[in-house]
Amino acid sequence: MNRTPLYEKHLNKGAMFSVFGGYDMPLWYHSAKDEHINVINNVGIFDTSHMSVLSLTGENSERLLNSSFSRNITNLSPRKEIYGLFLTPDYFVIDDAVIYKFSHNEFIIVVNAGMGEIIIDHLKSFNFSNVTIFNHTNTICKIDVQGPKSLFLMEKIFGKALFADFPYYTFKGSFTNNDYLISRSGYTGELGFEIYCKNDLGTKLWDELLIQGEVFNIMSCGLASRDSLRVGANLPLSHQDFGNWKFCNTPWDFCVDTPIISNTSYTYSYLGYDVRKLKNSGVVYYNSEEIGRVLSCVSEVSLTRVGNEIISVKSKNSSDIKIKGLAAGFIIINRKMTSGDRVIISDGSRDLEVEIVESIRPERTARYSLKRIRSMYE
Amino acid sequence: MSNFPQDLMYAKTHEWVKKDGDVYIVGISDFAQSQLGDIVYVDLPGVGTKLESGDSFGELESSKAVSEINMPFSGEIIAVNNELTDSPELINSEPYSSWIIKIKADSEDDFNKLLNSDEAKKIIEG
């Protein structure tokens, strides 16, 4: 079993552990629900050192990525990052990735836990010369600082100047030479930063973030809240929401420059009518006919319904309302539907009515300007 | 560290039972709630339901999973704690005062066959 450099810290804090992607990872520390809501209202830190971090250098790096990745990399400016997919010729998903561009001949590729060597083999199969690929995963610590108040915490630690101008999906620095690569991105739907650095720097940084973050009500957060936050933010989990089947007609089609035209399947986001979720994998029914399967099903604990209205912990009128949570996730079905349509998801013992929606959690801060965050939270 | 009050008895499936005259009050242990995580929904049975020992009488939904709660012995459910419908999180914060059901037992002897607090503690310590 693999462990991240922060494993001992999680253990000492009494975290509940679970195996994910071959790593023993914290699931939650005290309360997954509190961690979820704290990221929406304040700030949380996640150990994401299980992710695979690769570098790609050499004259043909950009050509190789343009040939193997779902998005054009030439159009990407240096110091910007982009989300996309590594696809098979049949449009099956090998993995999703974020690619960081330093220049046309230097990139960082971040893929899921345990996927580093698989993606390296895939890239090598294109037989490009003048490209060097290196797997940094075991020497790099990755910490995600997420939530609207992450800005103020990051300013305290790295200095205000760095955050005077820091647009969404851009990055600064590098993890070489004992420094930090900091990107304005994340997997929660809330304003946040991802930090990459050498393992020894990362273990010190984790402690520093918790100490300096105390005034912002910081919480260390586990994979359970990471999962429920990402579903609420309409973000997919690779190998669960897409994978070894044709990628078409999904909420994430934006990440493929040349989508495949197909009417074989449709993936939609859904929201339930109460907090109950399925116990096991489930199927989808419409008018008693089985039309597909459930990809993800979580409790989005920051939401509730009052009549036809979705109320979140961020809603202006939420203080008088008990937020009970709503089931949420993604389904893949064999027909086109539209927002507002209702289907039944079932695991054989539970039948739950859910509504197809464009987006799950309202008022997400990930893309807000830093000026707007300052005016709202400072 | 989970605690197991001395004045309660415990089922192997981590329910606690308190004797109150001829009524038996049932909840889940501190250990069980800590393993489940945040409880967000409690599915309660109907009053008057008669069930056998080990039968599921309801479900606890946590933010991560759904778990069944089991009858510690055979009997009839004579009351349910409706407060948990609105505030399921009470099971996390106060597991030993947040009772779930009250039972009239088929046999008074069944209570004495449950685990005492030391035995229950040994089970989780493996």
What are the pLDDT digits (tens) for A274-313?
Answer: 999 998 899 999 999 999 999 999 999 999 999 889 999 9
Residue ranges of domains in chain B = 9-108
- A322: distance to nearest CA of chain B, Å? 8
**Mean confidence (pLDDT) of chain A:** 97
pLDDT confidence tier of residue B64, bands split at 50, 70 and 90: confident
A30 touches chain B (CB under 8 A): no
- Quick one: three-class SS letters along A172-230? EECCCCCCCEEECCCCCCCCEEEEEEEHHHHHHHHHHHHHHCHHHCCEEECHHHHHHHH
B65: nearest CA in chain A? A279
pLDDT confidence tier of residue A100, bands split at 50, 70 and 90: very high
A27: nearest CA in chain B? B64
Q: Examine the pLDDT at A46 and tell me if it is beyond 90.
A: yes
Average pLDDT over residues A58-70: 98
Express the helix, strand and coil content of chain A in percent, nearest 5 each.
25, 35, 40
pLDDT confidence tier of residue B125, bands split at 50, 70 and 90: confident
A321: nearest CA in chain B? B86
Are B35 and A36 in contact (CB < 8 Å)? no
Cα–Cα separations (whole angstroms), residue A63 to A60, A66, A115, A158, A321:
5, 5, 22, 35, 54
Q: Which domains does chain A have, with CATH numbers?
A: 7-48+138-231 (3.30.1360.120), 52-135 (3.30.70.1400), 265-357 (2.40.30.110)
pLDDT confidence tier of residue A6, bands split at 50, 70 and 90: very high
Average pLDDT over residues B51-80: 93
pLDDT in tens, A123-144: 999 999 999 999 999 999 999 9
Q: Examine the pLDDT at B124 and tell me if it is beyond 90.
A: no
Query: Which residues, 6+ apart, have CB-to-CB distance to A275 below 8 Å?
Result: A299, A301, A324, A325, A326, A327, B40, B41, B61
pLDDT confidence tier of residue A165, bands split at 50, 70 and 90: very high
- B44: distance to nearest CA of chain A, Å? 13
Q: Who among B35, B38, B86 is closest to A33 (CB)?
A: B38
Q: Who among A32, A275, A298 is closest to B41 (CB)?
A: A275
Average pLDDT over residues A317-346: 95
Are B61 and A274 in contact (CB < 8 Å)? no
Q: Examine the pLDDT at B123 and tell me if it is beyond 90.
A: no
* Residues 284-303 (A) with a CB less than 8 A from some CB of B: 298-299, 301
pLDDT confidence tier of residue B1, bands split at 50, 70 and 90: low
Q: Who among B38, B61, B86 is closest to A32 (CB)?
A: B38
On chain B, the residues whose CB falls within 8 A of the CB of A28 are: 37, 64
A31 touches chain B (CB under 8 A): yes
pLDDT confidence tier of residue A325, bands split at 50, 70 and 90: very high
Amino acid in the structure at residue B25: I
Burial A304-342 (b: 16+ CB within 10 A, else e): bbeeeebbbbbbeebeeeebbbbbbbbbbbeeebeeeee
**Pairing mode of beta strands B101-105, A289-300:** unpaired
Which one, of A283, A287, A272, A289, lies nearest residue A360 by Cα? A272
Interface test with B, best of A25, A31, A280, A294 (most B CBs within 10 A): A31
Tell me what pLDDT residue A318 has: 78
On chain A, the residues whose CB falls within 8 A of the CB of B35 are: 16
Q: Which CATH class is domain B9-108?
A: mainly beta
Average pLDDT over residues A173-202: 96
Distance between CA atoms of B9 and B26, rounded to whole angstroms?
10
